[in-house]
Amino acid sequence: MAKRVVLAYSGGLDTSVAVKWMGEEMGVEVICVACDVGQGGTDADGYWNMIRDRALSAGAVDAEVIDCREEYAADYCVPALKANALYEGRYPLVSSLSRPVIVKKLVEAARRHGASAVAHGCTGKGNDQVRFEVSTRALAPDLEVVAPVRMWGLTREQAIQYATRFDIPITQSKEKLYSIDDNLWGRAIECGEMEDPWAEPPDGVWEMTQVRATEPREVIIEFLAGTPIAVDGSQISPAGVIERLTDIVGAYGWGRIDMVENRRVGIKSRETYEAPGALALILAHQDLESITLERDVAHEKLRLEHRYAELIYDGLWFSPLRQALDAFFEETQRHVTGEVRLKLEPGVCRPIGRRSPKSLYDYGLATYEAADSFRHDDAEGFVRLWGLGVQTWAARQG
């Protein structure tokens, strides 16, 4: 077994216990790497200082925090946005998207610290174990992967008791057994009473989408070649766009998802998410594509979007198919430039306007008014030829 292990550290229950457990049970030195993908909140400096201190208190020989926010937004969230990636048509891949960048930083840290193994805090029933391990093997097949949570067999309550016994600081309690994962792209909440798919999620689990605004308003999102570059005329980085929209749209209580999804390991799992910024961006992006993509391109893209989302969900970000699909999606985005206007009301976010200098919408062809330039006489022959096969079938065999 490796003498030095780099652990992807979240500061949560499982990874905090894993630090101590690997030291006690496996006799290894543990180096914690915490990746800032936007989960720090308003007091980011204080949050990350707390995470670093918690890792050291749990027994890590070293702990570092890596700021990945801009890289995560530009190199992972934006490609997923260009693909309108929604797993099973609903989930914007909140957790799935952050795992590849975390693994990339984990492997880099393993090289810096001379470690021969990396570790994660994923369970044997979840999707994240697949994402961490497959991505690690794609980037560094020589590194061993350690999964202490799969090895120790502790229930969540037993893990809390273990942390208490070794004075490991945690936020979970026996009364509130939620597992929460958040980043720029959204927030995932599971466990506790929500493991019953009939039970309504308690209002207290929501943070990004607590209603704080009631007066209707509009927000304008600007895109350049499929990349969001501005909100209400203010140009900012992709990470800034996501953060601003999460705040603006979330204040109207919009962006919650409650679904039973099909995990890669073969079980159905009740999941709740809130992703107001991500969902608003996807909604706006889809709307802009409606006037900038040619019909066959739009239809083929729609077919491939599902496959792209599935690859991300299944931990195959670092795969040749994902790279090939990226090339297709990137080509489709060359003319996806323009603005979309969203209307916000409590519980509502909907597009009410879109415009583009590259728009394929032709008023003269679309209107029924005097400016109509469509050649109506051409339609008769087109329709006759289009239906000729069906007409022949009906006459002879129908």
Q: Looking at residues 80-97, what average pLDDT do you find?
A: 97
Strand order in 4-8's β-sheet?
Answer: 62-67, 29-36, 4-8, 117-119, 144-146
> What is the separation of C-alpha 260 from the centre of its chain, rounded to a whole number of angstroms?
17
Read off the pLDDT of residues 216-255 as tens digits, 9 standing for 90 and up. 999 999 999 999 999 999 999 999 999 999 999 999 999 9
CB atoms within 10 A of CB 158: 12
* Beta partners for residue 353, in sequence order: 341
CA-CA distance, 107 to 114, in Å (whole number)?
10
Residue appearing with tokens 């016994």: 165
Which pLDDT band, with edges at 50, 70 and 90, does 176 fall under? low
CA-CA distance, 62 to 287, in Å (whole number)?
47
Instruction: Tell me how many degrees the CA angle 393-395-398 measures, rounded to the nearest 5.
Output: 60
- 182-355: in CATH 3.40.50.300: no
Please tell me the least confidently modeled range out of 115-124, 152-161, 163-172.
163-172
Helices (H), the chain: 13-21, 44-58, 69-72, 78-82, 94-113, 128-139, 148-152, 156-165, 238-250, 276-292, 295-313, 320-332, 363-366, 377-386, 388-396
| Predicted local distance difference test score (pLDDT) of residue 125 | 82
CA-CA distance, 255 to 37, in Å (whole number)?
19
- pLDDT value at 307 more than 80: yes
Which pLDDT band, with edges at 50, 70 and 90, does 191 fall under? confident
Tell me where in the chain the CATH 1.20.5 domain(s) lie: 363-396
Q: What is the mean pLDDT of the chain?
A: 94
| Predicted local distance difference test score (pLDDT) of residue 70 | 97
Catalytic machinery residues? 14, 99, 128, 179
Indicate the fold that domain 4-73+93-177 takes in CATH. Answer: Rossmann fold (3.40.50)
Strand 29-36 versus strand 62-67 pairing type: parallel
Determine the 3-state secondary structure of 70 from DSSP.
helix
Identity of residue 138: A
Q: What is the pTM (predicted TM-score) of this model?
A: 0.93
- The first and second tokens of residue 241, run together, are 């766009």
The class of domain 363-396 in CATH terms is mainly alpha
Read off the pLDDT of residues 312-344 as tens digits, 9 standing for 90 and up. 999 999 999 999 999 999 999 999 999 999 999
Which pLDDT band, with edges at 50, 70 and 90, does 174 fall under? low
- Higher-pLDDT residue of 204 and 223 is 223
To the nearest 10°, the Cα dihedral for 73, 170, 50, 60?
Answer: -90
CA separation (Å) from 326 to 69, 137, 333? 21, 21, 11
CA-CA distance, 191 to 176, in Å (whole number)?
9
Q: Looking at residues 67-86, what average pLDDT do you find?
A: 98
Tell me where in the chain the CATH 3.40.50.620 domain(s) lie: 4-73+93-177
| Predicted local distance difference test score (pLDDT) of residue 40 | 74
Tell me where in the chain the CATH 3.90.1260.10 domain(s) lie: 182-355
| Predicted local distance difference test score (pLDDT) of residue 289 | 98
Which pLDDT band, with edges at 50, 70 and 90, does 69 fall under? very high
Q: Looking at residues 121-143, what average pLDDT do you find?
A: 94
| Predicted local distance difference test score (pLDDT) of residue 27 | 94
- Higher-pLDDT residue of 159 and 177 is 159
HSE (side-chain half, CA atoms, 13 Å) at 329: 26
- pLDDT value at 173 more than 70: no
Read off the pLDDT of residues 27-36 as tens digits, 9 standing for 90 and up. 999 999 999 9
CA-CA distance, 277 to 17, in Å (whole number)?
32
- pLDDT value at 175 more than 80: no
CA-CA distance, 110 to 183, in Å (whole number)?
23
- Higher-pLDDT residue of 284 and 11 is 284
> What is the separation of C-alpha 187 from the centre of its chain, rounded to a whole number of angstroms?
9
Contact yes or no for 282/86 (Cβ under 8 A): yes
- The first and second tokens of residue 258, run together, are 């409650």
Please tell me the least confidently modeled range out of 175-179, 193-197, 378-382.
175-179
Q: Looking at residues 289-311, what average pLDDT do you find?
A: 98
Q: In sequence order, which residues have a C-beta less than 8 Å from that of residue 389 and are 6 or more positions away?
A: none
| Predicted local distance difference test score (pLDDT) of residue 332 | 98
